[in-house]
Protein backbone atom coordinates (compact mmCIF):
# COMPACT_ATOMS: atom_id res chain seq x y z
CA UNK A 1 0.00 0.00 0.00
CA UNK A 2 1.42 3.43 -0.88
CA UNK A 3 2.66 5.68 1.87
CA UNK A 4 0.39 8.50 3.00
CA UNK A 5 2.04 11.79 3.96
CA UNK A 6 0.13 14.25 6.13
CA UNK A 7 2.16 17.47 6.00
CA UNK A 8 1.20 20.71 7.75
CA UNK A 9 3.56 23.62 7.09
CA UNK A 10 1.54 26.18 9.04
CA UNK A 11 -1.45 24.55 10.73
CA UNK A 12 -4.32 26.62 12.09
CA UNK A 13 -4.27 24.34 15.14
CA UNK A 14 -1.87 21.66 16.44
CA UNK A 15 -2.73 20.08 19.81
CA UNK A 16 -2.47 16.95 21.91
CA UNK A 17 -5.73 15.61 23.28
CA UNK A 18 -7.59 12.60 24.59
CA UNK A 19 -10.84 10.75 24.16
CA UNK A 20 -12.31 8.60 26.92
CA UNK A 21 -12.41 8.46 30.69
CA UNK A 22 -9.21 8.53 32.79
CA UNK A 23 -7.79 5.04 32.86
CA UNK A 24 -9.05 4.20 29.39
CA UNK A 25 -8.12 7.31 27.42
CA UNK A 26 -6.75 7.32 23.90
CA UNK A 27 -4.16 10.02 23.25
CA UNK A 28 -3.96 11.93 19.97
CA UNK A 29 -1.90 14.51 18.15
CA UNK A 30 -4.19 16.53 15.92
CA UNK A 31 -3.48 19.15 13.26
CA UNK A 32 -5.99 21.26 11.38
CA UNK A 33 -5.40 23.43 8.35
CA UNK A 34 -8.61 24.86 6.93
CA UNK A 35 -11.12 22.02 6.61
CA UNK A 36 -8.41 19.31 6.69
CA UNK A 37 -8.08 17.57 10.07
CA UNK A 38 -5.63 14.73 10.74
CA UNK A 39 -5.45 12.83 14.03
CA UNK A 40 -2.70 10.38 14.98
CA UNK A 41 -3.02 8.20 18.07
CA UNK A 42 -0.10 7.57 20.39
CA UNK A 43 0.74 6.47 23.92
CA UNK A 44 0.59 8.65 27.01
CA UNK A 45 4.33 8.20 27.56
CA UNK A 46 4.97 9.49 24.04
CA UNK A 47 3.02 12.66 24.81
CA UNK A 48 4.97 13.07 28.07
CA UNK A 49 8.34 12.52 26.34
CA UNK A 50 7.41 14.84 23.48
CA UNK A 51 6.42 17.66 25.84
CA UNK A 52 9.63 17.20 27.85
CA UNK A 53 11.81 17.27 24.73
CA UNK A 54 9.95 20.31 23.39
CA UNK A 55 10.59 22.13 26.67
CA UNK A 56 14.29 21.31 26.45
CA UNK A 57 14.40 22.51 22.83
CA UNK A 58 12.60 25.75 23.73
CA UNK A 59 14.96 26.40 26.65
CA UNK A 60 17.94 25.96 24.33
CA UNK A 61 16.40 28.26 21.72
CA UNK A 62 15.70 30.87 24.38
CA UNK A 63 19.29 30.56 25.60
CA UNK A 64 20.46 31.18 22.01
CA UNK A 65 18.24 34.25 21.68
CA UNK A 66 15.49 33.04 19.36
CA UNK A 67 12.88 35.73 20.02
CA UNK A 68 9.71 33.65 19.68
CA UNK A 69 10.97 30.95 22.08
CA UNK A 70 10.54 33.01 25.26
CA UNK A 71 7.90 31.91 27.71
CA UNK A 72 4.47 33.45 27.22
CA UNK A 73 3.26 34.99 30.47
CA UNK A 74 -0.28 34.36 31.65
CA UNK A 75 -1.52 32.72 28.45
CA UNK A 76 -3.85 29.77 29.02
CA UNK A 77 -3.73 28.51 25.44
CA UNK A 78 -6.07 26.17 23.63
CA UNK A 79 -8.51 24.36 25.92
CA UNK A 80 -11.10 23.28 23.33
CA UNK A 81 -11.89 19.64 22.61
CA UNK A 82 -10.30 17.85 19.68
CA UNK A 83 -11.83 18.70 16.30
CA UNK A 84 -14.40 16.42 14.73
CA UNK A 85 -14.42 14.14 12.85
CA UNK A 86 -11.91 12.25 14.97
CA UNK A 87 -10.65 9.57 12.60
CA UNK A 88 -7.32 7.99 13.48
CA UNK A 89 -4.99 8.22 10.46
CA UNK A 90 -2.56 5.77 12.12
CA UNK A 91 -0.89 4.89 15.44
CA UNK A 92 2.46 6.62 15.92
CA UNK A 93 5.48 4.43 16.49
CA UNK A 94 8.41 6.79 16.03
CA UNK A 95 8.42 10.48 16.89
CA UNK A 96 11.17 12.84 15.79
CA UNK A 97 11.63 16.43 16.81
CA UNK A 98 13.86 19.01 15.17
CA UNK A 99 14.57 22.65 14.52
CA UNK A 100 14.62 24.19 11.02
CA UNK A 101 17.16 27.00 11.31
CA UNK A 102 16.32 28.49 7.91
CA UNK A 103 12.63 29.01 8.71
CA UNK A 104 13.01 29.14 12.52
CA UNK A 105 10.28 26.56 13.13
CA UNK A 106 9.98 23.39 15.17
CA UNK A 107 9.48 20.25 13.07
CA UNK A 108 7.70 17.25 14.51
CA UNK A 109 7.30 14.02 12.59
CA UNK A 110 5.37 10.91 13.60
CA UNK A 111 5.80 7.67 11.68
CA UNK A 112 3.31 4.87 11.66
CA UNK A 113 3.85 1.93 13.99
CA UNK A 114 4.55 -1.07 11.77
CA UNK A 115 4.85 -4.79 12.36
CA UNK A 116 8.28 -4.90 10.74
CA UNK A 117 10.93 -5.40 13.39
CA UNK A 118 13.72 -3.76 11.43
CA UNK A 119 12.45 -0.46 10.10
CA UNK A 120 14.76 1.41 7.80
CA UNK A 121 15.36 4.59 9.79
CA UNK A 122 16.96 6.22 6.78
CA UNK A 123 14.11 5.36 4.43
CA UNK A 124 14.12 7.50 1.32
CA UNK A 125 11.47 10.21 1.71
CA UNK A 126 10.61 9.86 -1.97
CA UNK A 127 9.81 6.13 -1.65
CA UNK A 128 6.17 5.37 -2.32
CA UNK A 129 6.32 2.38 0.06
CA UNK A 130 6.88 2.64 3.78
CA UNK A 131 5.18 3.84 6.94
CA UNK A 132 2.69 6.70 6.82
CA UNK A 133 4.03 10.01 8.12
CA UNK A 134 2.57 13.02 9.88
CA UNK A 135 4.76 16.16 9.79
CA UNK A 136 3.96 19.46 11.43
CA UNK A 137 6.04 22.65 11.29
CA UNK A 138 5.18 25.30 13.89
CA UNK A 139 6.63 28.39 15.56
CA UNK A 140 8.29 28.25 18.99
CA UNK A 141 5.40 30.22 20.52
CA UNK A 142 3.01 27.53 19.29
CA UNK A 143 5.34 24.92 20.78
CA UNK A 144 5.00 26.61 24.19
CA UNK A 145 1.20 26.46 23.90
CA UNK A 146 1.44 22.81 22.80
CA UNK A 147 3.51 21.94 25.89
CA UNK A 148 1.13 23.79 28.23
CA UNK A 149 -1.83 21.87 26.82
CA UNK A 150 0.07 18.55 26.91
CA UNK A 151 0.85 19.06 30.61
CA UNK A 152 -2.84 19.79 31.32
CA UNK A 153 -3.91 16.70 29.37
CA UNK A 154 -1.41 14.49 31.20
CA UNK A 155 -2.44 15.89 34.61
CA UNK A 156 -6.13 15.22 33.91
CA UNK A 157 -5.64 11.46 34.27
CA UNK A 158 -6.08 9.29 37.34
CA UNK A 159 -4.37 10.58 40.48
CA UNK A 160 -1.25 8.69 41.58
CA UNK A 161 -1.13 6.38 44.60
CA UNK A 162 0.59 8.24 47.48
CA UNK A 163 2.66 5.13 48.27
CA UNK A 164 3.80 3.68 44.92
CA UNK A 165 2.94 6.38 42.38
CA UNK A 166 0.90 4.09 40.12
CA UNK A 167 -2.48 5.40 38.94
CA UNK A 168 -5.39 4.87 41.35
CA UNK A 169 -8.42 3.05 39.98
CA UNK A 170 -11.91 4.12 41.12
CA UNK A 171 -12.56 0.49 42.16
CA UNK A 172 -9.44 0.39 44.34
CA UNK A 173 -5.74 -0.18 43.82
CA UNK A 174 -3.58 -3.22 44.56
CA UNK A 175 -0.57 -1.40 45.89
CA UNK A 176 2.78 -3.23 45.78
CA UNK A 177 4.01 -1.09 48.70
CA UNK A 178 1.18 -2.56 50.82
CA UNK A 179 2.03 -6.14 49.78
CA UNK A 180 -0.87 -6.29 47.36
CA UNK A 181 -3.51 -5.14 49.80
CA UNK A 182 -6.32 -3.07 48.34
CA UNK A 183 -5.97 0.69 48.84
CA UNK A 184 -9.24 2.63 48.49
Query: What is the average pLDDT across 69-97?
Result: 83
pLDDT above 80 for 184: no
**Domain coordinates in residue numbering, the chain:** 5-158
Q: Which fold has domain 5-158?
A: Secreted effector protein pipB2 fold (3.30.2450)
First to last CA, the chain: 49
pLDDT above 70 for 109: yes
The residues near 75 (Cβ < 8 Å, ≥ 6 apart) are: 145, 148
pLDDT above 80 for 69: no
Residue 43's Cβ-side half-sphere holds a number of Cα atoms within 13 Å equal to 8
pLDDT above 90 for 99: yes
What is the per-residue pLDDT across 121-141, written as a single tens digit (0 to 9) for each? 555 556 678 899 999 999 998
Distance CA 113, CA 123 (A): 14
What is the per-residue pLDDT across 28-62, written as a single tens digit (0 to 9) for each? 999 999 999 999 999 999 999 999 999 999 999 98
Distances (CA, A) of 118 to 7, 51, 114, 115, 123: 25, 27, 10, 9, 12
- Top pLDDT among 51 and 165 is at 51
- From 28, 32, 31, 23, select the one nearest 41 (Cα to Cα): 28
Query: What is the average pLDDT across 105-125?
Result: 74
The residues near 8 (Cβ < 8 Å, ≥ 6 apart) are: 14, 31, 33, 38, 135, 136, 137
Distance CA 27, CA 67 (A): 31
- From 148, 145, 181, 149, select the one nearest 163 (Cα to Cα): 181
pLDDT band at 117 (very low <50, low <70, confident <90, very high): very low
Amino acid sequence: MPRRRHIFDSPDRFVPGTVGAPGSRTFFLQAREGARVVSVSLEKVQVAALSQRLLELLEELERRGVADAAEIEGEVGDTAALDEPLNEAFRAGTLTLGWDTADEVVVLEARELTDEEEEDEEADEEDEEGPDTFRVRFAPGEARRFVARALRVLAAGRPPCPLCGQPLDPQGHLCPRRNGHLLN
